[in-house]
Chains A and B, each alone.
Chain A
Amino acid sequence: MNRHANHLLSIADLDTADLDQLMRLTDRFVEVSQRQIPKVPALRGKNVVWLFYEDSTRTRLSFEQAAKRLSADTMTFSVGSSSVKKGESLRDTVLTIEAMGVDGIVVRHSSAGVPWQIARWLEHRVSVVNAGDGWHEHPTQALLDCYTIRERRGSLEGLRIGIIGDVKHSRVARSDVLAYTALGAEVTLVAPPTLLPPSLEGWPVRVSHDLDAVLPDLDVAYLLRMQRERMTEHLVPSLREYTDRYGLTARRVDRMRDDALVMHPGPMNRGVEISAEVADLPRSVIIDQVRNGVAVRMAVLFLLLGSGVDKVLGSEGALPDAVADPDPAGVPDLTSAAPTPEGAPR
């Protein structure tokens, strides 16, 4: 294949039309998933490898299910049982995998920018999908979030969406902000100052430190996972105090609009950012998010690997700039607020 492979690296590479196209395409794959035999031969003979340098259950399983429903073959590379333990570099690993013959690489890594790096090392012969890079982006999560909101509300145009919690360490928040605003929603970040990025310059968002003030106006309350492993950094006094001010409790949820939705990227800490009963309310679409995740990833994999449609994800235009800069921190806009976690790559 001589043609420049398409990638999905960042929501920033997609314009509103691309996002709309992906949403419509996802409709088709939702229908496929409802068939008696929910499998189509569209990616027969294509090989996709999961390159997961960081733990993940739902994202990997979701991609796996999506690939299987499209009849693609899959291979899993997990760091725990691989030559990485023997000291093989990421570049050598990627070139080795490519030599075996793959059409797509779905990568998760704790360092921002790794998916770009891989796309460059492979000289765009193989499609790369970013399944989460450091604190930077998680584009397929944002797509499934948009799709879930669109499914309930018809469109994101004019909706008020609050992203609540640890925005600083959240790649989901970064991708969501880009996708929501591109589709016409107004985004408010709700968090204590310690859990916001050091600079929000250029972010098309409002900021609030008071959930109770914002909540009655929201169409969507998007809760981020309070990462317990970060508690040692003393960013909040205690989980209990966090819940007290920013947790979506049963008492708080009563003050939301009747048609407002509650969302969470998972895994949930019931009793911390979301109370146990709120997670199970009809307005909570957390399970829908997971279900739609499969269809969205089918749409992405088909578009990149099967459709033969070029330039769909805007990657041809956007990529060279990002790739020209070998410093992972040099990738698109929001990265300046998303420093590479220290000590990475693992």
Chain B
Amino acid sequence: MAERERRSTPPYGGVFVARSQVMDADDVRRAIWRMAHEIVERNHGLDGVVLVGLQTGGVLMAEAFAEALAEIDGTEVPVGTLDVALFRDDIGIRPVLPEAVTDIPVDLDGAIVVLVDDVLFTGRTIRAALDALGSYGRPRAVQLAVMVDRGHRELPIRPDFVGKNLPTRRDEMVNVSPSGVDLGELVKEGR
């Protein structure tokens, strides 16, 4: 979703048109459930774990993780949101406005931060997120959970928890929602 909104901003404007469904709602739910187990396993419990959803596509997912983790482990994990607009490296190249809410409810010093986003693509959003997290303290570790890893990385960044590895063409679009994951294209309006 984040990617879609970004690409919908002029001059990239357009409408997402789905071509094929890659995951349905059940697949998404199962992937969340599996990744939640992996988060517990990797961290030997949930002590010090904080979920941070990247605006806007990662926010709903982070909440879904929190629900799953509460059921699996009986622990309420703090959930925050992060908008990385002010830390992006393409400020000045294309229009950027920090419209979404950043809310980090706990001190991140010594925490294990699980960054959550819907689609991992070039890795530049994650690079910006890592910089932004530094403003809230020094986490003990930062891990990355994404629903879809679509490749085409431009930076040395890899996810720790992946819903689905999805080979794509660069000009394709991936749209993630609770009702499923779609692969499609951005169609320019009025052309």
In the complex, A31 Cα to B99 Cα: how many Å?
12
Q: Which of B80-106 contact A (CB under 8 A)?
A: 83, 85-87, 91-99, 101-103
Determine if B24 is an interface residue (Cβ-Cβ < 8 Å).
Answer: no
Q: Which residues of B contact A302 (CB under 8 A)?
A: 86, 98
- Say whether B134 contacts A32, CB under 8 Å: no
Q: Is B20 an interface residue (CB 8 A)?
A: no
* B102 (CB) vs chain A CBs: closest residue: A31
- Chain B nearest CB from A290 CB (Å) reads 23
Please count how many residues in chain B sit with their CB below 8 Å of the partner chain's CB atoms: 23
- Residues 1-48 (chain A) with a chain B CB within 8 angstroms: 24-25, 27-28, 31-32, 35-42
CB < 8 Å A-B pair total: 60
**Cβ contact within 8 Å between B99 and A35:** no
Complex: chain B residue closest to A42, CB-CB: B86
Selected contact of B135 from candidates A38, A70, A308, A310, CB within 8 Å: A38
Q: Does B76 make an interface contact (CB < 8 A)?
A: no
Residues 297-346 (chain A) with a chain B CB within 8 angstroms: 302-303, 306-310
**Given A40-B87, A40-B135, does the pair A308, B93 have CB atoms closer than 8 Å?**
yes
The number of chain A residues touching the other chain, given as a range, is 20 to 34
In angstroms, Cα B92 to Cα A293, docked, is: 24
Whether B92 pairs with A41 at a CB distance below 8 angstroms is no
Q: Which residues of chain A have C-beta atoms less than 8 A from B102's C-beta?
A: 28, 31-32
Contact A35 B135, beta carbon cutoff 8 Å? yes
Across-interface contacts of B91 in A (CB, < 8 A) = 42, 306-308
Distance of A308 Cα from B103 Cα, bound (Å): 25
- Asked whether A308 lies within 8 Å of B94 as measured between CB atoms, the reply is yes
* Residue B110 interfacial (CB < 8 Å): no
**Which residues of chain A have C-beta atoms less than 8 A from B94's C-beta?**
308
B92 proximity list for chain A (CB < 8 A)? 306, 308
A contacts, CB < 8 Å to B: 24-25, 27-28, 31-32, 35-42, 70, 302-303, 306-310
Residues of chain B at the chain A interface (Cβ within 8 Å): 83, 85-87, 91-99, 101-103, 107, 131-132, 134-137
Closest 7 CB pairs of A and B: A40-B86, A42-B86, A35-B135, A28-B98, A37-B135, A308-B95, A309-B95
Can you show 6 pairs from A to B with CB atoms below 8 A apart?
A25-B98, A32-B86, A32-B135, A306-B92, A307-B97, A308-B92
